[in-house]
Amino acid sequence: MGYYTVEGGRKIGGEYTVHGSKNAVLPILAATLLAADEVVLENCPLISDFYASLEILKSLGCSVVLEGNTVTVDSVHISSCEIPEEQVSCMRSSILYLGALLGRKKEAKLGHPGGCVIGKRPIDLHLRAFEKMGVEITEKDNIFFCKSPKLLGYDIYLEFPSVGATENILLLAVKAEGTTVIHNAAREPEIIWLAKFLRACGAEIYGEGSPTIMIEGVRKLHGAYFSIPFDRIEAGTFLCASAITGGEIYLYGAEKQYMESTLEILDQMGCGQRADENGIFLQAPKRILSDFTLRTGPYPAFPTDMQPLMMSLLTLGKGTCMISETVFEARFRHVNELCKMGADIRMQGQNAAVFGVEKLYAAEVVGTDLRGTAALLLASLAAEGKSIVHGAEYMERGYEKIEDVLTSLGGKVHLIS
């Protein structure tokens, strides 16, 4: 447990190289279980969820060697099919090991996944798809016992384009007999990157990035070298940090094509932008503009992970912005804390009206999830005075030493452990 002290009123700007993607590396680490040879992953983000994933792999019997931001995983001698309860309870993406273990060992034992409390996020979409593909599932004392004596391809129709369900079905389908087709599949960049990794290991996958993905099952996957792509949410976070403090920033490694909806909103706010083959540049306006509506949704719509961060910017906007959260029902948990800092936000169900104010003021606030805590940290960068932001354990799940990065970019942020 820890907290940040932040001295506000300093511009965030300069140059920064974006880390590898949290939401890409976690499913790819689960996918290493399917490879019969050594896998080398470069550009991994050194965040707590990454380390937790490595512990899961070790507990299953994998050899794991981490050198800098490169990890080598050898899953040849898997000795267990049970995910330890302590890892399951703290990380939502542990559910992905279910599909990977079933594809590799034909059985798996897993408790209910944990993670940030931002909504129900039911796993029934995963389990129903698995049963259609031949997985036998029993539940006892909140533990899932799964066996797959014979995996068969199937046409899967998802009620919602769930990222986790799409990833889990991919992990299972690459080792199933025959063809699996996922209809209404998630289209997020992380799906594309997982498919690219699996294809590098010998999988036959077609259509990733579209609503329909086809997978031809194969008998065996081999090892591969793969570099984790940039984190589009981390990139958006630092664009917002610069915008809320009136700075200018250039992000190396950020790719415009995967950030269109975020950049479009920043453009409506009056931010100057320029993208080239090396990254993205942003210049903050004299004051944020906010007379528009913002609605989250599955990719390519505006990402729910960016909503709390944009809300922090909009608190200082000129005008009023209406925000509709359509993905997670508990994604406004940071609102009351922002109001402690002088924000004027009024909620009704899954909608929030953000009325811009002239200034934010320092306060002691508490984050309860990853992106909500990040939103409070951004607000504290712009607030007058010295703020205290609790919830460092959430930040460390998705940001690598963010206090050092923000300080190097002109801020004054300290982590108190």
Nearest to 24 by CA among 3, 2, 6, 42: 42
d(CA 195, CA 189): 10
Do residues 202 and 222 lie in contact, with contact meaning Cβ atoms separated by under 8 Å? Answer: yes
Decide if 146 is catalytic: no
- Residue 393 host element (H or E): helix 392-398
User: Cβ distance 158 to 185 under 8 Å?
Assistant: yes
Cβ count near 304 (within 10 Å):
18
The torsion defined by the Cα of 333, 238, 392 and 310, in degrees rounded to 10, comes to: -10
Which positions ≥6 away from 404 have C-beta within 8 Å? none
Distance (Å, whole) CA 400 – CA 50: 10
Q: Where are the beta strands (DSSP E) in 200-244?
A: 204-206, 212-216, 225-227
Angle at the Cα of 25 from the Cα atoms of 172 and 255, rounded to 5 degrees: 115
Give the HSE-up count for residue 201: Cα atoms under 13 Å, Cβ half-sphere: 31
- Cα 23 to Cα 351: distance, rounded to the nearest angstrom: 26
Residues 365, 340 contacting (CB under 8 angstroms): yes
User: Two tokens at 28?
Assistant: 């790819």
Catalytic residue (one of 44, 62, 81, 116): 116
Q: Which of 55, 118, 56, 113 is nearest to 88 (CA)?
A: 113
Report the amino acid identity of residue 330.
A
Which residues are annotated as catalytic?
A: 116
